[in-house]
Amino acid sequence: PAEKQALRARIKDLLVREDAVLVAHYYTDPELQSLAEETGGCVSDSLEMARFGNAHPARTLVVAGVKFMGETAKILNPEKRVLMPTLEATCSLDLGCPADTFTAFCDQHPDHTVVVYANTSAAVKARADWVVTSSIAVDVVDHLAGLGEKVIWAPDKYLGGYVQKVTGADMILWDSSCIVHEEFKSRGILDLKKQFPDAAVLVHPESPASVVEIADAVGSTSQLIAAARDLPNERLIVATDRGIFYKMQQAAPGKIFMEAPTAGNGATCRSCAHCPWMAMNALDNLAHVLEHGGEEIFVDEDVRVKAMVPLQRMLDFSA
């Protein structure tokens, strides 16, 4: 603990020295989330991370999260230096949607509007008409369906299927998924509910449809935190990365949070409900990058300019 305190103090000094602000995702280590809060940075979902970084005057943004979040920060802030604790932190959705195959796929459906989830590379965003996060996916697709547009959705098939079901939009879904959320099992959750019948089930829509079906609240990370606060239930079973418990406990002090089971037998998995890439962000690599640089995000200028268009559309839509 003394060592950890010293490391935290050093990071605070380095943030000042480097004119840097720390932006941390809800799924990162609570150490990083609390440090972001204590130093005037922010803890949020990918949409709010983008907004915050864009509005903040610091010359360096340090993004504790995964690579697409760093790229989004760079696309919106080309004049700023964007660092990450490690560039190795990626996402199965980003990996599951390579830009060349995706571009070819879009070219086969020229009459479709291309909507991509924020969890994609800058190059994939550059091919899109819209970027959305899970907090506004339903609203954007509903808007497009209202205009009579047909939609290509990528990359998350479960979130896409959920959006399709809610909006009734005409959608073609790319076939990829989040390795964390796809592991949640409705059987295990129902077994747990037998033990705790008054628990509410909170589900992120990157989870399979069978899990979404048994939810008391479905939504993005920010929406689930609000649901944890607003639902009357004392006990909550949560089907998303357990990093979110840090903020849920702040929003709903005194409530009891349980990880949704990732195995069909009802046993709670102690390591599955946590993104391995989010977990790569830590105090030591954060201190290292602030002290020595490296792990900096660069985006080709032509890609950046193209990707800016659908990203700005998202920010304007949700303003």
- Residues lying near ligand CIZ in the complex (CB under 6 A) are found at 45-46, 118-119, 133-134, 178, 206, 220-221
Q: Residue 178, annotated ligand binder?
A: yes
Segment lying near ligand SF4 (by CB under 6 A), choices 34-42, 52-60, 89-97, 157-165? 89-97
> What is the enclosing helix (H) or strand (E) of 235?
strand 235-239
Q: How far is the CB of 7 from ligand CIZ (least distance, A)?
A: 26
Q: Which of 151, 146, 194 is nearest to 170 (CA)?
A: 151
Q: Which of 83, 76, 86, 68 is nearest to 15 (CA)?
A: 83
Q: How far is the CB of 28 from ligand SF4 (least distance, A)?
A: 10
Contact 311, 125 (CB under 8 A): yes
Contact 211, 189 (CB under 8 A): yes
Nearer to ligand CIZ, 62 or 136 (CB): 136
- Of the candidate residues 21, 140, 173, 180, the single one contacting ligand SF4 (CB under 6 A): 180
> Applying CB under 6 A, does 71 fall inside the site for ligand SF4?
no
- The footprint of ligand SF4 on this chain (CB under 6 A) covers a number of residues equal to 14
Q: Which of 296, 302, 308 is nearest to 67 (CA)?
A: 296
Residue type for position 313: R
Nearer to ligand CIZ, 171 or 239 (CB): 239
> Applying CB under 6 A, does 93 fall inside the site for ligand SF4?
yes
Work out what residue 92 binds among ligand CIZ, ligand SF4, none; the CB cut-off runs from 5 to 8 Å by kind: ligand SF4
In sequence order, the 6+-apart residues with CB closer than 8 A to the CB of 50 are 69, 72, 73, 76, 118, 311, 315
Task: Report the interface residues with ligand SF4, using CB under 6 A.
Answer: 27, 66, 91-93, 119, 178-180, 206, 241, 275, 277-278
